C-alpha cells in the first residue's frame, strides 16, 4: 500500500468514525438525515441529493439539499422489492441528473434510498467512493431505524395520553355527576365535557322520564327537533348510529348537520340519547370516541335517573306522611263508642282506603232521647279531604245542639261549608235526628246515596232533601221528611265506597247486590248485618285495593 493510499484510508476511517459519533448523539430523524447528506456532500463534493424513506410501500422524500423548487415531493411509483433501485425510478433520477442512488437498509428491512447529484468536477463516482457510501449508509440505517422507533413511540404515547385523558374525564365526571342534584347542571356538564373532547358543531340531549321526551340541551331549533323525535320512544334508540342510519329513523334531522346518535342507557335500557353534529376540526369520530361518548352519556343518564328516583322516593315519602296525618285526622273524627240504648241498636264501621277517601259518619246524643246520625262523603282525598271533614264535624256538632228544625240546620251547615271551600270541593251528606222515645225520625239528604229503609221485606230510599254541600249558598230550602218507626225497621246508611267497591275484574259491587244482601238479612240484628256486609264485600273484592273509603251505619229498631 502506498503512503497516499494509506492516508486516504485513514481519512475515510476518520470520516466514518466522526459520522458515526455524530449521528448517534441524536434520535432526531431530521438531524440524522441532514448529517448523512452533508457528510456525503463533503466526501463526494456534490451539491444536491435527497433521502427518501418508505412509509408502507410508498417512498417519500424525508430530507433533501440543493434540489430545484419544482422537484416533486412524491417520487414515481416504486414497488420494487429488489435491492437495486428499479428501472422506473432510475430513469427518473437520470433525468434529474442524479448520478448515484443507493438503498438504505438495516438488518431487518429496507428503509429507503439516497440519491446524490453529479460531483462538482463531473467525475464519475469511483468504486471506492461507492464502497464508502455503502458503509456510511449502514451506519446511518441503524440510526434512522432508532429515530423511526422513537417517532412511533411518540405517536403511541400521544394515543396513550388521549386514552388517559378520556379515562380521567370519565372518572372526574362520575365523581361530579353524583354530587350534582340539579338536572340542568348534569346536562350542561355532559355537554361541556363532550365539547371539550370533541368540539362538535351541534348537539342535542334528549331525556325520557315517565315516557315523556324532553330536550335538555340543544343547539338545533327545539320546536323542529321535537317534532322530529316525537312519537319514537327512547328505548328504541338502542345502539350507536351514524350518518344515514340516523336519517332513516329521524328523517327530520337530515336538515341539520348530524353525524352521531348515541343512546344513554341505564342497565342496558335507553332512557335518552345524544345527537351530535360533525366535529369542527372535520375529523371523524373514531370507534374509541364513540365508546367514550357512550360511557359519558351512561354516567349522565344514571345521574339523571338517580335524581329522579330520589325525588320520587321523597315525594312518595312525603305523600305517605301526609296520608298518615289524614288517617289520624279521620280516625279521631269518627266516634269511638256508639250509644247503647234499649230502643235502637246501632252499628257503624268505616274502612279507610289507602289514600283516605274522606268518608265521615257520626252518632251523637243531642238531647235526652235525641240522637243525631250522619254520614258524609267529602270529595277529594288525603289531608285536604280530612280537613274539610273536620270542618263538617265541627259545624255538625255545633248546629245539632241548637235544636233548629233539621232542614234549617242543613241550610246553615251548607252555608258554612260553602264559605269554607274554595277549590271546588263538595260533600254529599245525609243526616237524621231520631227521637228514641217517640219512635220517629226526621232526615235530610243533601245529595248523598239514599240510605235504605227496610220494613216488612220492602226497601224504600231516604232521598228527600236538596243540593250537595259546598257548591252554592242555600237558596232553595232543604226538604226534611218525617218517618215514624216500628219494631224491626232497619235503616242502612252507606257511602258509594260500598256499592262502587271493585273486584279483580274491575266490576262494581253494585246497588243490586247490596240491596238483595240487606233484604236477605233484614231480620238480623245490626251487628250481625254489619258482619254479613263486610264478609260479602271481602269475598267480592278479594285482594283488590280500593280507591274509596267504605262506610256503613246501621240502625235497627228493637
Partner 1 sequence: MAEFNAGITETGNVQVIELSGFLDAHTAPRLENTFNELLTRQQYRVVVNFRNLKYISSAGLGVFMAFIETMRGNGGDIKLTEMQPNVYNIFDLLGFPLLYEIFPTQQEGIQKFNQSSEK
Closer to partner 1 by CB, 203 or 426: give it: 203
- Binding residue for partner 1 (CB under 8 A) from 280, 319, 394, 398? 280
169 binds partner 1 (CB under 8 A): yes
290 binds partner 1 (CB under 8 A): no
Residues 6+ apart with CB under 8 A from 432: 372, 373, 374, 406, 441, 442, 443, 444, 462, 491
How many residues line the site for partner 1 (CB under 8 A)?
25
Distances (CA, A) of 327 to 322, 358, 481: 9, 10, 34
293 binds partner 1 (CB under 8 A): no
Q: Are 337 and 365 in contact (CB under 8 A)?
A: no
Question: Among the candidate windows 5-13, 83-91, 167-175, 542-550, which touches partner 1 by CB under 8 A?
Answer: 167-175
Closer to partner 1 by CB, 196 or 473: give it: 196
Nearest approach, Cβ of residue 167 and partner 1 (Å): 11
Task: Report d(CA 437, CA 428) in Å as an integer.
Answer: 29
Q: Are 442 and 480 in contact (CB under 8 A)?
A: yes
- Binding residue for partner 1 (CB under 8 A) from 128, 131, 151, 161? 161
Question: Among the candidate windows 74-82, 126-134, 168-176, 301-309, which touches partner 1 by CB under 8 A?
Answer: 168-176
The residues in 180-239 that bind partner 1, with binding defined as CB under 8 A, are 185, 188-189, 191-197, 199
Nearest approach, Cβ of residue 250 and partner 1 (Å): 24
Q: Which of 512, 551, 516 is nearest to 347 (CA)?
A: 551
535 binds partner 1 (CB under 8 A): no
Cell of 35: 448529517
Q: In sequence order, what E strands does 106-148 have?
A: 110-117
Nearest approach, Cβ of residue 299 and partner 1 (Å): 11
158 binds partner 1 (CB under 8 A): yes
Question: Among the candidate windows 98-106, 146-154, 158-166, 413-421, which touches partner 1 by CB under 8 A?
Answer: 158-166
Nearest approach, Cβ of residue 225 and partner 1 (Å): 19
Closer to partner 1 by CB, 128 or 172: give it: 172
Q: CA-based diameter of the chain, in Å? A: 160
74 binds partner 1 (CB under 8 A): no
Residue 539 three-state SS = helix
Distances (CA, A) of 143 to 64, 89, 121, 140, 146: 18, 25, 31, 5, 5
Neighbours of 203 (CB within 10 A): 20
Distances (CA, A) of 197 to 13, 194, 289: 55, 5, 9
- Binding residue for partner 1 (CB under 8 A) from 84, 175, 354, 538? 175
Residues paired with 265 in a beta bridge? 270
Strands 49-55 and 110-117: antiparallel
- Binding residue for partner 1 (CB under 8 A) from 5, 151, 172, 315? 172
The residues of the shown chain that bind partner 1, judged by CB under 8 A, are 158, 161-162, 165, 168-169, 172-173, 175-176, 179, 185, 188-189, 191-197, 199, 280-281, 283
Amino acid at each position: 500500500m502506498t503512503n497516499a493510499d494509506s492516508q486516504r484510508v485513514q481519512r475515510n476511517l476518520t470520516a466514518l468514525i466522526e459520522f458515526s459519533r455524530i449521528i448517534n448523539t441524536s434520535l432526531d430523524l431530521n438531524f440524522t438525515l441532514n448529517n448523512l447528506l452533508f457528510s456525503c456532500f463533503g466526501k463526494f463534493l456534490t451539491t444536491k441529493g435527497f433521502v427518501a424513506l418508505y412509509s408502507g410501500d410508498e417512498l417519500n422524500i424525508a430530507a433533501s439539499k440543493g434540489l430545484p423548487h419544482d422537484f416533486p415531493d412524491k417520487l414515481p411509483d416504486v414497488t420494487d422489492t429488489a435491492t437495486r433501485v428499479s428501472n422506473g425510478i432510475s430513469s427518473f433520477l437520470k433525468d434529474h441528473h442524479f448520478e448515484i442512488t443507493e438503498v438504505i437498509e438495516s438488518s431487518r428491512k429496507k428503509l429507503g434510498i439516497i440519491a446524490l447529484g453529479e460531483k462538482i468536477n463531473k467525475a464519475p463516482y469511483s468504486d471506492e467512493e461507492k464502497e464508502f457510501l455503502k458503509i456510511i449508509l449502514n451506519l446511518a440505517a441503524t440510526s434512522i431505524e432508532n429515530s423511526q422507533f422513537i417517532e412511533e413511540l411518540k405517536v403511541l404515547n400521544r394515543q396513550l395520553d388521549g386514552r388517559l385523558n378520556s379515562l380521567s374525564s370519565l372518572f372526574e365526571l362520575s365523581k361530579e355527576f353524583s354530587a350534582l342534584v340539579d338536572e340542568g347542571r348534569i346536562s350542561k356538564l355532559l355537554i361541556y365535557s363532550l365539547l371539550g373532547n370533541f368540539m362538535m358543531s351541534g348537539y342535542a340531549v334528549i331525556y325520557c322520564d315517565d315516557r315523556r321526551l324532553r330536550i335538555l340541551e340543544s343547539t338545533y331549533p327545539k320546536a323542529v327537533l321535537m317534532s322530529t323525535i316525537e312519537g319514537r320512544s327512547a328505548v328504541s334508540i338502542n345502539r350507536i348510529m351514524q350518518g344515514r342510519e340516523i336519517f332513516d329513523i329521524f328523517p327530520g334531522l337530515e336538515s341539520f348537520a348530524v353525524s352521531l346518535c348515541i343512546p344513554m342507557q341505564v342497565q342496558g335500557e335507553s332512557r335518552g340519547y345524544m345527537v351530535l353534529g360533525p366535529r369542527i376540526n372535520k375529523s371523524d369520530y373514531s370507534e374509541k370516541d364513540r365508546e367514550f361518548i357512550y360511557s359519558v352519556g351512561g354516567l349522565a343518564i344514571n345521574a339523571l335517573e338517580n335524581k329522579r328516583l330520589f325525588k320520587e322516593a321523597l315525594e312518595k315519602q312525603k305523600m305517605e306522611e301526609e296520608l298518615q296525618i289524614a288517617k289520624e285526622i279521620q280516625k279521631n273524627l269518627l266516634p269511638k263508642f256508639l250509644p247503647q240504648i234499649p230502643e235502637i241498636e246501632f252499628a257503624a264501621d268505616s274502612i279507610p282506603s289507602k289514600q283516605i277517601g274522606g268518608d265521615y259518619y257520626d252518632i251523637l246524643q243531642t238531647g235526652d232521647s235525641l240522637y243525631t246520625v250522619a254520614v258524609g262523603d267529602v270529595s277529594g282525598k288525603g289531608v285536604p279531604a280530612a280537613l274539610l271533614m273536620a270542618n263538617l264535624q265541627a259545624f255538625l256538632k255545633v248546629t245539632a245542639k241548637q235544636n233548629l228544625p233539621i232542614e234549617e240546620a242543613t241550610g246553615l251547615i251548607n252555608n258554612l261549608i260553602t264559605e269554607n271551600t274554595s277549590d271546588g270541593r263538595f260533600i254529599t251528606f245525609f243526616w237524621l235526628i231520631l227521637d228514641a222515645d217517640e219512635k220517629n225520625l226526621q232526615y235530610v239528604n243533601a245529595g248523598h246515596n239514599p240510605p235504605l229503609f227496610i220494613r216488612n221485606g220492602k226497601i224504600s230510599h231516604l232521598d228527600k232533601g236538596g243540593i250537595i254541600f259546598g257548591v252554592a249558598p242555600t237558596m232553595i230550602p232543604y226538604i226534611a221528611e218525617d218517618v215514624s218507626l216500628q219494631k224491626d225497621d232497619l235503616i242502612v246508611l252507606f257511602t258509594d265506597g260500598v256499592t262502587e267497591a271493585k273486584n279483580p275484574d274491575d266490576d262494581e259491587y253494585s246497588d243490586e247486590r247490596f240491596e238483595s244482601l240487606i233484604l236477605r238479612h233484614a231480620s238480623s240484628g245490626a251487628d250481625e248485618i254489619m258482619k254479613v256486609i263486610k264478609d260479602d264485600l271481602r269475598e267480592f273484592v278479594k285482594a283488590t285495593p280500593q280507591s274509596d273509603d267504605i262506610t256503613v251505619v246501621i240502625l235497627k229498631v228493637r
